């Protein structure tokens, strides 16, 4: 069981709702993943547009919603987006993300820390999306973040855990849950993150853009369970030399 702030989760796999071909596939994939916390974004309503209702299937599925502040380029915009998100989804949970540069979507650490301080003061449960920076993660923890969400690689890149060495340091030092977010491209990446001791992973693109998102949702669920179980069991020590696992007795020597 994983506890973040006031909620407890059976599943350590969090999922996103973006990039699915339709909301039915999204709902089925999330169901298959058994994720209990899913991210959502905000957009301006287009008055001439048709209704695009993704909220109903998620409400029906009974999952917890984690609105994000995607689109915010600085702390001020993020605080405004957070308040709108709280109104729209009636939750004080928030994935704080501030990425001013659309090419790499890398999070702005200074604005994120500023916004986190303010939002915690305002009563939000803040889960900041950040680079895998151990110092920043400690500062966010001190500012009252309920978890930290360091990236494995740029959003949607499917590159895997490029930041692994830094994730190790973050995991070792953190007093709040560590959720590896962004870049996880395959179930093996998710399993790896869990094996090194992450408390959870957040996966969106890798599930949504798969040929079969429902099957991929299941694959991620299983990988996260396997990775966590391996972490709890304790992995063996790595070595550059062989260590025999069969007895090297000399019974063939008289042959």
Partner 1 sequence: MQFFVNDQPLSSEASLTLEQLLEQINQTDKGVALAINRQIVSRSRWPCKRIEEGDRITLIKATAGG
Q: Point out which residues bind partner 1 (CB under 8 A).
A: 16-20, 23, 26, 39-47, 51-55, 59, 65, 67-68, 70, 80, 83-89, 155-156, 202, 204-205
**Crossing angle, helix 134-143 and helix 164-173, to 10 degrees?**
30
Least separation in angstroms between residue 239's CB and partner 1 is: 38
Q: Does an H or E element contain 134, and which?
A: helix 134-143
Annotated catalytic, 95? yes
Give the residue with the Cβ less far from partner 1, 30 or 196: 30
Least separation in angstroms between residue 128's CB and partner 1 is: 15
Task: Give me the count of residues in the chain.
Answer: 255
CA distance 249 to 253: 9
Task: Give every CB contact of residue 72 below 8 A, 6+ residues apart in sequence.
Answer: 78, 80, 81, 97, 98, 115
Least separation in angstroms between residue 95's CB and partner 1 is: 9
Q: Residue 187 phi/psi, 5° resolution? A: -55, -35
Least separation in angstroms between residue 242's CB and partner 1 is: 43
Task: Write down the catalytic residue from 7, 19, 31, 95.
Answer: 95
In contact, 154 and 128? CB cutoff 8 Å: no
Distance in Å from the first CA to the final CA of the chain:
57
- SS3 of residue 178 by DSSP: strand
- Could you list the active site residues? 95
């Amino acid at each position: 069981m994983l506890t973040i702030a006031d909620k407890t989760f059976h599943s350590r796999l969090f999922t996103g709702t973006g990039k699915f071909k339709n909301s039915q596939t999204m709902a089925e994939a999330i169901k298959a993943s058994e994720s209990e916390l899913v991210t959502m974004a905000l957009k301006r309503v287009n008055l001439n547009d048709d209704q695009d209702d993704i909220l109903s299937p998620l409400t029906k599925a009974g999952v917890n919603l984690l609105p994000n502040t995607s689109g915010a380029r600085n702390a001020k915009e993020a605080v405004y987006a957070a308040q709108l998100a709280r109104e729209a989804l009636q939750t004080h949970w928030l994935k704080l993300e501030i990425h001013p540069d659309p090419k790499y979507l890398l999070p702005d650490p200074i604005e994120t820390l500023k916004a986190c301080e303010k939002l915690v003061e305002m009563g939000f449960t803040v889960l900041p999306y950040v680079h895998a920076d151990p110092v920043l993660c400690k500062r966010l923890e001190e500012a009252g973040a309920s978890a930290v969400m360091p990236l494995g690689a740029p959003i949607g890149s499917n590159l895997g855990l490029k930041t692994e060495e830094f994730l190790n340091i973050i995991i070792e030092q953190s007093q709040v849950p560590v959720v590896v977010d962004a870049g996880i491209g395959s179930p093996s990446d998710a399993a790896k993150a869990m094996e090194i001791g992450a408390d959870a992973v957040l996966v969106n693109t890798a599930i949504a853009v798969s040929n079969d998102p429902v099957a991929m949702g299941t694959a991620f669920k299983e990988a996260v369970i396997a990775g966590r179980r391996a972490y709890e069991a304790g992995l063996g020590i790595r070595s550059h030399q062989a260590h025999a696992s069969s007895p090297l007795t000399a019974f063939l020597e008289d042959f």
